[in-house]
Amino acid sequence: MVVTSAGVVIENLGFSIDEQVILAGVSASVAAGTVTGLLGPNGAGKSTLLRLVGGLATPATGSVTLDGDEIGSLPRREAARRIALLEQNTAPSVDLSVEDVVLLGRIPHRTRLLGSFGGDDDRAVAAESLAAVGAGELVDRMWHTLSGGQQQRVQIARALAQRPSLLLLDEPTNHLDVSAQLSLLSQVGGLGITAIMALHDLNLAAAFCDQILLLQDGRLVAAGTPAEVLVPEIIGAVYGVECDIIEHPRDGHPVIVFSAPRSAGSSSDAPAADLAAPAFSAVHA
């Protein structure tokens, strides 16, 4: 499968709804072929940033370029051939087979008028895309008979069928069990395609991302490798939780070990890590 790599440059990106600022002054760059994790508490603006990068919303300020082309200036179909975005937890409104779902990804490549008569080429691409996420044997199954992890893989295959150079994923591991989470993310990393994904789980981000962008209240507060961004001071300031960082015994990436808050009212304003926080087990003691 030929994958064109691409680089993304985000410059001073801002977005508001009804005077309320959702995102402001976000600048970052994403190297071609890397996996970037988008982290931040609920409401930090992760999904909005993904929509702006995907060209699905128009920024109030700033711009996003992909391989030097400003995304906002691309026609929708052209953008859809280069960028694929997957929302969290979507299901089809009618029963579809797995192949039907993946073939949807060929829509931006079809001709406008008689394009509904897609050919065998499309089916070959669909088969390739399914194989790329290790779901080739699911092709004849019906969507609603799949497990959560299988559905998510098929969704990624649909995105791959668009033959994008940039893959945007909004919390792809939501509602998956741990084995499905791990296999899905390692598969995304193995695609060799530029990927930006919003994640909730800091440890998954630390394990599978080359770069982390950390958002808080619509602003980019930290960017860098997992080892640079995922440190107790920054995590404490953004999430208001205490933690320690240890090294993964096998892979060497950072592992974040959280501690329970010492009192109900503790917040990001008072990290005060002068005392060792009690471990989880101590809470029940």
Partner 1 sequence: MATGGVTREAGPGAPGRVPRTARSLAHARFVLALALAVITLVLVVMLAVTIGPANVALGQVSGSILGHLGLGPSGAEAGAVPLLIDSIVWELRLPRVLTAAIVGAGLAISGAVMQSVTRNPLADPYLLGLSSGASLGAVCVVILGVGFALPAAAFLGALLALFATLSIARVGGTITPARAVLAGLAIAQLAGAGTSFIIFWSAKGDSYREILNWLLGSVAGATWESVIISGTALALVGTGVVLAATRLDAFAFGDTAAASLGINVNATRWALLGSVALLTGAMVAVSGAIGFVGLILPHLVRGLSGPGHRRLLPLVAVCGALFLVVADTLARTIFDPRELPVGIITAFIGVPVFIVLIKRKKSSAWS
Residues contributing to the site for partner 1 (CB under 8 A): 51, 54, 56, 76-81, 83-87, 90-97, 99-101, 104-105, 107-108, 110, 113-118, 123, 127, 134, 136-141, 144, 147-151, 153, 162, 175-177, 179-180, 183
Q: How far is the CB of 133 from partner 1 (least distance, A)?
A: 10
Q: How far apart are CA 93 and CA 91, in angstroms?
A: 7
**26, 49 Cβ separation under 8 angstroms:** yes
Considering beta carbons, is residue 110 or 219 the nearer one to partner 1? 110
Q: Are the C-beta atoms of residues 36 and 30 closer than 8 Å to each other?
A: yes
The residues with which 28 forms a beta bridge, in sequence order, are 10
Quote the CA–CA distance of 126 and 112 in Å, as a whole number. Answer: 20
Nearer to partner 1, 23 or 83 (CB): 83
Smallest distance, partner 1 to C-beta of residue 237, A: 32
Name the minimum Å distance from CB 208 to partner 1: 17
> Are 194 and 114 within 8 A, CB to CB?
no
Residue 77 or 248: which CB sits closer to partner 1? Answer: 77
* Minimum distance of partner 1 from residue 118's CB (angstroms): 8
Q: Which is nearer to partner 1, 155 or 259 (CB)?
A: 155
Q: How far is the CB of 194 from partner 1 (least distance, A)?
A: 16
Task: Report the half-sphere exposure of 88 (CA within 13 A, side-chain side).
Answer: 15
The CA distance from 79 to 160, in Å, is 14
**DSSP states along 232-267:** HHHHHHHH--EEEEEE-TTT--EEEEEE--SSTT--
Q: Closer to partner 1 at the Cβ: 80 or 243?
A: 80
Partnered with residue 100 across adjacent β-strands are none
Q: Closest approach of Cβ 65 to partner 1, in Å?
A: 19
Which is closer to partner 1, CB of 53 or CB of 220?
53
- SS3 label, residue 123: helix
Amino acid identity of residue 271, one-letter, is P
In 3D space, the residue among 276, 220, 259 whose CA is nearest the CA of residue 28 turns out to be 220
User: Rounded distance, CA 170 to CA 87, Å?
Assistant: 5
- Taking the least distance from each CB to partner 1, the nearer of 141 and 253 is 141
Smallest gap, in angstroms, from Cβ of residue 163 to partner 1?
A: 12
Instruction: List 244's β-bridge partners, or say none.
Output: 257
